[in-house]
Chains A and B, each alone.
Chain A
Amino acid sequence: MIDKYNNSTGEGGPVSSVVFRLDPRSGVPTYLQLVQQVENAIRLGYLQRGDQLPRIKDVVVSLSINPNTVLKAYRDLEQKGLVGAHPGLGTFVEAAPETVGLPELTTLRRSLVTGWLREAAAAGLDEDGIAALFTSALLDFSNRSEERRPTRRPRRVVLDETGGAA
């Protein structure tokens, strides 16, 4: 059934290399799930510079979700500088996500272990308790940074005229 929709709107465009799925029980908003899946696909190399994201209509049909949700996810990715929208053509991957350097990772890790984790353990939390607390705080944190996002300046990737839309 779904193949038919794709054929009827396909117009021979390139097949996208990301397949979305939704976990209704994750508690993560739908659009954020899409964003994370694209980010992961870029990180893992399934999506590379110049690849096209699935057309909004195709995502809408395959997941039966609100088109605005997909639009919001793609705008979010655009703001992060990961993809670029080319009206009439589609949305294309423009850059790999900025990876955090090893020295920063080491510092972050150290401050987590010697600081917060030690404090949590001293307060009497076991591993499961720490994980539960961290997960809920992280969810809260990402929700809050969501609200703040419009004020933050989006990181822009300059698109070279030849490479982007090709």
Chain B
Amino acid sequence: MNVVESFGLGVSYRGTWALRDCTLAVPEGHIVALVGSNGAGKTTLLHCVVGLTTQTAGEITVLGGIEAGSPDALDRVAFVAQEAPLYRQITVRAMLTVAANLNQNFDRNLAETRLANLDIPLERRVGRLSGGQQAQLALALALARHPELLVLDEPLARLDPLARHEVMAVVMSTVAEEGLSVIFSSHVVSELERVADYLILMSHGRVQMVGAIDDLLARHVVLSGPTNEAESVADQLIVVQSQHAGRQTQFVARLDAPMEFPNGWLAESISLDELVLAYLRAPSASAMPGPLAVATNRAGR
């Protein structure tokens, strides 16, 4: 089952495309990081997934073909927006009552247990909680619905390192217990590797790279060698980024098949940070192993 599947998805706001030609197939059971520079279209894509934005073009389904934003989808997908959407004037307990009344299948006991574990007092006004506690409250409310897909928009922005760790720990342990799929957007590239196992990289409203992180890392290398041979080596590769420094040249390259490198060239494995940065710096480079499969599926239907 694909938790998110989109085909030619596009959203335009007053004539400007915020998201364009987005074709994706994200299999279930992953923790998906959605990465891209500011204004790349991450939030727009997430809003399409949860049904807060209606697309201008194309189609998008969730959880194995349910139309995004349909009542069935809303029951099974939970979303926590960037500014944790909470009523700040009321107490935590009242917030739980509101959430219980607004949602079907709201597991209030679970939410209360979680909050107690985190030492968040039920009688305190939501606005008086710390940023980390507010994030935890929003997350507890989302998880109390036992979603199959949890969508988080910048869950870690504005949190201190300890709060980040604790928020991610809650998400990860819920994944371990309930096996839900998670999609979250983030700027904090260095923290992705421990958490995410699937990557969607966006730039300028388009999806630039999608895939299982292990796969993506295995398909890319950092190559360094003498500049005078750089051109002939580059011809055999798909170069994502090249840096020349006098006599030495360094490539970040994609390998579609295993290959032998000429003598004098050193191929090293790439880290996730390096990979993400290389693609962010080269918005025109694209590595799209995934979407082809979707396109052929569609053609076969």
A interface residues, Cβ below 8 angstroms from B: 1-2, 4-5, 8, 22, 24, 27, 30, 56-57, 60-69, 136, 139-140, 143, 147
Contact = CB atoms under 8 A, between A and B. Distances in A.
Contacts of A4: 117
Interface residues of B, number: 28
- If over half of A's interface residues share one DSSP class (helix, strand or loop), that class is named, otherwise mixed; here it is helix
A4 B169 CA distance: 12
B268 A61 contact: no
A1 B267 contact: no
A66 B266 contact: no
B169 A5 contact: yes
B268 A140 contact: yes
Given A66-B172, A67-B172, A24 B193 contact: yes
Nearest to B116: A4
A139 B268 contact: yes
A69 B197 contact: yes
Contacts of A66: 31, 172, 175, 194-197
B288 interface: no
Contacts of B268: 136, 139-140
30 contacts: A1-B118, A1-B119, A1-B166, A4-B117, A5-B117, A8-B113, A8-B117, A24-B190, A24-B193, A30-B194, A56-B176, A57-B173, A60-B169, A60-B172, A60-B175, A63-B194, A64-B169, A64-B172, A64-B194, A65-B172, A66-B195, A66-B196, A66-B197, A68-B30, A68-B31, A69-B194, A136-B268, A140-B267, A140-B269, A143-B269
Interface in B103-134: 113, 117-119
A99 B266 CA distance: 32
A65 B269 contact: no
B115 to A, nearest CB: 12
Given A61-B172, A64-B194, 18 more contacts: A2-B169, A4-B117, A22-B194, A24-B190, A24-B193, A56-B176, A57-B176, A60-B173, A61-B169, A64-B165, A64-B166, A64-B169, A66-B31, A66-B175, A69-B197, A140-B269, A143-B269, A147-B218
